[in-house]
Structure 1
């Protein structure tokens, strides 16, 4: 057997030692990551009983911005219902008005013609003149009665549009361009000109009150008002359809806050905001008893108060971090 010389054996041992050192260093690196690898894990968001904890660096990367809630007040409003009325009787009234108007105009011209002949001694007897004038007055009275039928059968609110508008309104209703509504509120009827919101399910619409209806509601024992719904939503209101209605002109005033729309997050079948607290904590606060408003979302004072700081930018990112963060420990002794 060949004998290995010492210089060759020494080189082999040195090479093996260097390889072992490399392998040992590799295992050491896997077992204990360096500071650069450990930093992101330490900065991960976490949940505790006080809410979601997010460090400042993560907030900056997520583009979080907070704003203080402004105080607001709003009337509780009054709720009721709206019912679409049958425009058929209005069309019949319109036809009667047109017929009475034509007869009144014809008899008035005849009376004027006979009076002119009698004045010129052209063969018209005074008795004929008086008879023609009586007929003209009778036809004018029938026209006036036909116009008053709008008040008797629908109400003064619709009659305020004038006798000449009845035929046009009936024609528009027949074509689906307008719907005639009766609005009833147990707490009292709104004044003429008040804006009422209708729940069309789906969607909403606003109408302006014309004035009182002809009769009270037998069930609610309330005096109704009339309104007109025009536009593309009018054909959706079949005769007799009942809609929820509300207006904010009555009721006690509630104190609350106005939540910006950018702060609202929809999740878990509800709406909530993230309220910023001390020590980089963010708490989910549900919007209870809120009401949509042109400026945002009105929420009565309760869970939220004026001056509370809520997230207005990056609220959706916080929701994702909340779902990804580990749940807090239950504190048990298991």
Structure 2
């Protein structure tokens, strides 16, 4: 006697002896309501589910010191540029008003303002070239918050890469492994420094919160990139799955006394069971209890397996 038959004992043997009706085409099994009760078969409708595709990635924690220094240099240059611009405006106003002011002094003030403006522009370009558009296009207030968080250990910047840039286009969220947990990160934008071994341009990711202090400079961790597009399907409870011929299957009730066995193709595990995007649809009555008993009833008459 097989383990499945031993589990259900005399009830299963009686049903097999009675010979439940089997369809000739689809792998199905027919059991009366009374037989279903004796085997403890129960089904429930599937609800629609959305699954976010994840791409495996590598994450390396960046040294924030160059960014902090560059941001400080930029803030200093912007302050100097504002002061010299105001001085140049005063010099022009005095000249127009006929006030006594040496031409060379006015020209010097104007030249200084132009020089300071060029210095600011150069530093802003460096910010873009070295740290990417995600940082360069931040507002001054948001950039100050980033710098303050980096220096306080409340924010970490991480370079995330995948093979051949897989999953990077349009990505907004990343999960980084830190110990037994995954820490969420927000994608700021593409990076400027490529990872040559993976042929990846990479993403610059901000990790904010208490876990940021655990991301020490140079630390390399595994990560997952969330796709911006979700896939619609259903979640199959793990109790609905039976194994046969090296594959996963589940039974769907097609009438009060008939069940169809369907292959579970390309399942992806999640907290609610196994997500599948095809083969099952919302509303299908899937057997969640007694699936193994149905399999025993279906195969017990010696019918060749499909």
Equivalent position of 2:182 in the other structure: 204
Equivalent position of 1:244 in the other structure: 223
CA distance in 1, matches of 2:89, 2:132: 36
What is the alpha-carbon root mean square deviation over aligned residues? 4.7
1:306 aligns with 2:277: no
Instruction: Please tell me whether Structure 1 or Structure 2 has the larger radius of gyration of its CA atoms.
Output: 1
CA distance in 2, matches of 1:115, 1:289: 73
Equivalent position of 2:209 in the other structure: 231
Q: TM-score, normalised by structure 1?
A: 0.60
Q: Contact 1:66–1:310 at 8 Å: present in 2 too? A: yes
Q: TM-score, normalised by structure 2?
A: 0.64
Q: Contact 1:90–1:166 at 8 Å: present in 2 too? A: no
Task: Trace 1:111-260 onto structure 2 (pairs within 5 A).
Answer: 111-162=88-139, 165-188=142-165, 190=167, 193-201=170-178, 202-240=180-218, 241-248=220-227, 258-260=234-236
Aligned length: 264
Equivalent position of 2:244 in the other structure: none
Equivalent position of 2:296 in the other structure: none
- 1:300 deviates by 6.5
SS of the residue corresponding to residue 233 of structure 1 reads helix
Shift in alpha-carbon separation, 1:282–1:169, aligned structure 2, 3 A = same
Shift in alpha-carbon separation, 1:257–1:146, aligned structure 2, 3 A = closer
Give unmatched runs, 5+ long, in structure 1.
1-40, 323-328, 330-334
Shift in alpha-carbon separation, 1:289–1:204, aligned structure 2, 3 A = farther
Equivalent position of 2:76 in the other structure: 99
CA displacement, residues 18-62 of structure 1 (integer Å, 9 cap, x when unaligned) = xxxxxxxxxxxxxxxxxxxxxxx96599998x99x9944456xx7
- 1:100 deviates by 0.7
Q: Contact 1:178–1:231 at 8 Å: present in 2 too? A: yes
Give unmatched runs, 5+ long, in structure 2.
1-8, 17-27, 242-247, 294-299, 301-306
Which fold has the larger relative contact order, with Cα–Cα distance below 8 Å and residues 6 or more apart in sequence? Answer: 2
